Structure 1
Amino acid sequence: MASETASAIGIIGPTGLEIARWAMVDNCIREYRVKRGWTQQQLADKVDGVNQPRIAAWETGIRDFGDTSLNVAIKVANALRLSNPRRLLEAPSESKENTSES
């Protein structure tokens, strides 16, 4: 009934494709963080202006990483030692980015 009401008044939720993209980005951040052996708090400590609840919200899909400013995306990519912030938008297993610590 609620979905019928939402449709009737023109409220449209995210499409399946959008949800899939968000899940991919969320899992990407989590996977790169875990590859580093870091907790959410440790990653947050490395990204100026980002706290652990925000990392958790990205990883769980509560907050869309796609709505993040370019400045913050670059900070997250730098903290994760990714040379290209676009790596955060692709599945880590598909990425050819070298994430080994140097």
Structure 2
Amino acid sequence: MKREARLQSAKSWLKNYDGKHVVKSYSKWFGVDSICAMNELEVLGLRFSEKQKKKLNEAYDNKVRQKQLSRARRLQKTHKSWRWRNILKGMALSRTTQREALHSD
């Protein structure tokens, strides 16, 4: 859903919303990240303190950083297993070559 349509829909959603965590709920309901949710809620008239904004930005940055670390670990693990397979493959080839050399004499 594009932003303009989301803002139109959010007006009625906001009238019916009665929970405590409006940014998190908006983010989940409309499928946007928390920063976008906060910005759009401000457009709709909600106000957030600088402390709340800073806390949300830090949480978002931490989430992004954790996702990047997770991806890096996954790639590193894949790389290690690929490397290990090649090492084993190389060992098997060298053993085969050694056997062939012994039997050719």
Q: TM-score by structure 1 length?
A: 0.24
Structure with the greater relative contact order (CA < 8 A, sep ≥ 6): 1 or 2?
A: 1
Larger helix proportion, structure 1 or 2? Answer: 2
Which structure has the larger Rg over C-alpha atoms? 2
Q: TM-score by structure 2 length?
A: 0.24
